[in-house]
Structure 1
Amino acid sequence: MANHDQILRELLEKIAEEYKYKDATYKIEPVSSEGANYSSALYNITVSSPNNEDLNLFAKVLSFSEKTRSAMVDTDTLPSDPSETERFVYQELAEKFKELELKCGIPMEERYAFTKFYCHQPNTNAETVILENLAVKGFEVYDRLKSIDWPYASKAVEVLAKFHGLAMAYEEHNPEEYKDILIKYTNKIEPIYKYMSSSFKDFAETALSVTREENKEKLKKFIDSLSSFENVLHVYSKPQRKPVIIHSDFRPSNIMHRINKNGTIDLIPLDYQTIHSGCCVSDLIYLIILGSDAPFRARYYQRLVDHYYDSLRNTLIRLKMDPDQIYPRKDFDYELREALPYGLIVAIFGLPLITVLPDDAPDMTSDNFMDGMTKIKTSSLYPDRINGVIDDYVKWGVL
């Protein structure tokens, strides 16, 4: 196991030099994700210097055990330098988005927000990303054990629509460059998705074990229909009408939010290491299914879907594009129908982990980490959440 303190101190020395923090001292504090993160060790960091204000930083260090890492190397499924992917997003993609927003005169308060990026370490066994610590500014992660509410959900889809709209604008302005990005980052993520897909049967058995009897055969039929696919996560999330850069892990645990005194919400997404080519509705479905419960969806599902498209349409108009040409509602509705089963797949994979109690979360440093993921001790919240999803998919005609 890599020495995280040494890795971080070497990076912090470079940051201190770049920002002219002479005689800097470093306070490095491990942070528990409380079961919200399964691949990285997390740290809050304070860089202090006699003549400067403190730098408040946040670090992620990829932290698989040697056995787990070796197994992933042997099967060619180790994530291909996720720190480089995040560096690309925070440095290059963020700059492209900023240029587009400036060119189109988007007011500062309406722009897509990225957290400040400081540096990354791409070396194997030491892959690290260091960002601004948003918690110091009052941001926090939504409680993953609770369903999202309308104020949070509506703001989240507005932000998601900005991300997708800016990606579409990028394609309009630099089509060949954009195409290369889609290919590059899709190729990077495919191996790990295939590896995850090899465990689909185990996750499916967990879902079936708590499925109510009247729906069990319907779910089993759906699961069996996916048995021949090498990558079940890409069967329904691949683009049908409009390829776009998707976040692909857009859920409350990967989003920081702050409620302001006037009741408005500021929201900043994180964890871009799985960006690739997909259909934008797959990000929307992912958020709704993994972030909400059945009562929320019964009340707000269609309203949230409509709010997302209206927000995307408004984003495209602000970016001087015609939404009826770029991504008309009929294309959105078509992709939504085609991608809807994706939500059931991510529920099967994700809900055991989303609802796990902190003390039962898999230990990423354990040699048996992958077994811990597939044979997780589910919480009492899990049956209700997964059955709520299954009921919705029966109602929606997928099951």
Structure 2
Amino acid sequence: MENKQSSKYNANYQRDKVSISEEFTQDLQNSIYEIVKKEDYITYDIDSRKISTGGNNFLGELYEINITGKSSVGPKHTSLFLKHIIYNDDFKVYSIPEVYNKEAFVYNTLSKIYDELQDKAGIPSEERFRMVKSYKETNDKAIILDNLNIKGFKTMPRFDVMSIEFAELSIKQLAKFHSLSFVLQSKNPEYFESKIKTVKQSFVYDDYWNELAKKMCDMSSSRMDEATKKKIDKLYLISLDKYPKYMNGLNSSIKCLVHGDYKMNNVLLKESDGRVTEVIPIDFQQIYYGCPIIDLIYFLYAASDRNFRKQHLYYLRDIYFESLTSFLDYFDVDPGFSREAFEKCFEDSLDYALMYTLYMLPWFFIAENVPDLAKDELLDTSLQVDERFYGRMQEIVDEFIELGIL
């Protein structure tokens, strides 16, 4: 679904008299014009295109905005990626404005802090934690970023099993993101205490969540045998207490600022000769102060199959730990936990992978009738998933039966 609108303006015109798109609020139009002004355009043409993600994004309307014209030094082109908030006061699992506020904090404030920490430590450009360039006009209603699509970045097809190259690079970036939280805690403990440790999990774990989780569990196990369904029903009852503890960092003493939704489609990638060469994490709406190992497990199970995990699960676990500790060496900062403690936490937390995939994997595999969360009620939504979901979910359940966890 695409929706194009294009208009030509002179930068000397009164901006409040011009409309970029009928779908844009006046505040959003003003933000775009501020970018035009700061980019030194004299004359310009704005082309806006609404993007359909086909199930990759539920909480915003996405646009590509291309500004083409002339500046004082000659021809110029700026391409923006815009994510604009949807509103639903009846959305019960968490506050949509709250998660936009979190992402605006990451791009407007935390990214600058992390850049300064890396600058002071002299981190080589190829070793740095990477983020998409954001614009100061980003706020709690709209996230405005450099559009990296025009520079060759893309996301993996969301039903695919990730490649090992993609997994390695993505996990190294995740480790660096977590590392910078430990560095900030060491270098500026007062700021960390007031601004990072206070970032809470967005999900509300109440009766509504319990009912939604049961619905998702039933869908995930719908094609399994009766004996397995009974095991999942028992796990569901245990999860009502245990899952919120995982998500609030209550099951581990290892804590930092975590991404909260680190999956394949929230990592941009660039390829060369068919191999992934660069990755950049995106979508920081679900950040919270919690256990980084939960972030790692979430990523490992979101886009892998049984064969991938048999070959690479513990190798990638080790890549994460080695990347975290080697990156912290640049700052002369200790993470505060040993490799043995890390590995024990990983083993003790593995059942989180089973719980969250039973609840969340159907959303990752939506094939048709993508829900409109500005209107739809989650409990009444009928999800149609890609057929590959059922095989992927069965493999996860079989794995945890063999491990003796289910």
Q: TM-score, normalised by structure 2?
A: 0.87
Match of 1:185, SS state, is: coil
Shift of 1:318: 2.2
1:222-257 Cα distance to aligned partner (Å, 9 max, x none): 112124x3x834436615122100001001111100
2:82 to 48, 55, 59: 59
Q: Distance in 2 between the 1:337 and 1:48 partners?
A: 53
Q: What is the identity, as a one-letter code, of the residue corresponding to 2:86?
A: S
Q: Distance in 1 between the 2:274 and 2:302 partners?
A: 28
Match of 1:235, SS state, is: helix
Number of positions where the alignment pairs a residue of Structure 1 with one of Structure 2: 381
Match of 2:84, SS state, is: strand
8 Å Cα contact 2:246-2:294 kept in structure 1: no
8 Å Cα contact 2:239-2:355 kept in structure 1: no
8 Å Cα contact 1:87-1:120 kept in structure 2: no
8 Å Cα contact 1:30-1:42 kept in structure 2: yes
1:137 to 145, 151, 157: 151
1:16 to 18, 30, 36: 36
The residue number in structure 2 matching 1:274 is 286
The residue number in structure 2 matching 1:391 is 398
**Is 1:205 aligned to residue 205 of structure 2?**
no
8 Å Cα contact 1:165-1:315 kept in structure 2: yes
Relative contact order higher in (CA < 8 Å, ≥ 6 apart): 1
Q: Distance in 2 between the 1:143 and 1:253 partners?
A: 8
RMSD, aligned α-carbons: 2.4
Match of 1:27, SS state, is: strand
After TM superposition, list the pairs within 5 Å mapping 1:141-160 onto structure 2: 141-160=155-174
Q: Distance in 2 between the 1:300 and 1:60 partners?
A: 34
Q: What is the identity, as a one-letter code, of the residue corresponding to 1:294?
A: R
1:124-158 Cα distance to aligned partner (Å, 9 max, x none): xxx21110001011000011111111111111111
Match of 1:43, SS state, is: strand
Q: What is the identity, as a one-letter code, of the residue corresponding to 1:174?
A: N
Q: What is the identity, as a one-letter code, of the residue corresponding to 1:293?
A: D
Relative to structure 1, the CA distance from residue 194 to residue 281 in structure 2 (aligned partners, 3 Å threshold; closer, same or farther) is farther
The structure in which a higher percent of residues are helix is 1
The residue number in structure 1 matching 2:90 is 71
1:287 to 281, 295, 299: 299
**Is 1:316 aligned to residue 328 of structure 2?**
yes
1:29 to 38, 41, 49: 49
**Is 1:342 aligned to residue 356 of structure 2?**
no
Q: Distance in 1 between the 2:342 and 2:145 partners?
A: 34
**Is 1:255 aligned to residue 285 of structure 2?**
no
Q: Distance in 2 between the 1:118 and 1:311 partners?
A: 29
Which sits farther off after the overlay, 310-319 or 33-42?
A: 310-319
Rg larger for: 2
2:387 to 377, 380, 388: 380
Match of 2:40, SS state, is: coil
Match of 1:186, SS state, is: coil
The residue number in structure 2 matching 1:361 is 370
Shift of 1:288: 0.9
8 Å Cα contact 2:205-2:244 kept in structure 1: no
Q: TM-score, normalised by structure 1?
A: 0.88
Shift of 1:183: 3.8
Match of 1:117, SS state, is: coil
Match of 1:301, SS state, is: helix
Relative to structure 1, the CA distance from residue 76 to residue 108 in structure 2 (aligned partners, 3 Å threshold; closer, same or farther) is closer
Shift of 1:360: 3.1
After TM superposition, list the pairs within 5 Å mapping 1:82-93 onto structure 2: 82-93=99-110
Q: Distance in 2 between the 1:145 and 1:43 partners?
A: 23
Q: Distance in 2 between the 1:26 and 1:6 partners?
A: 16
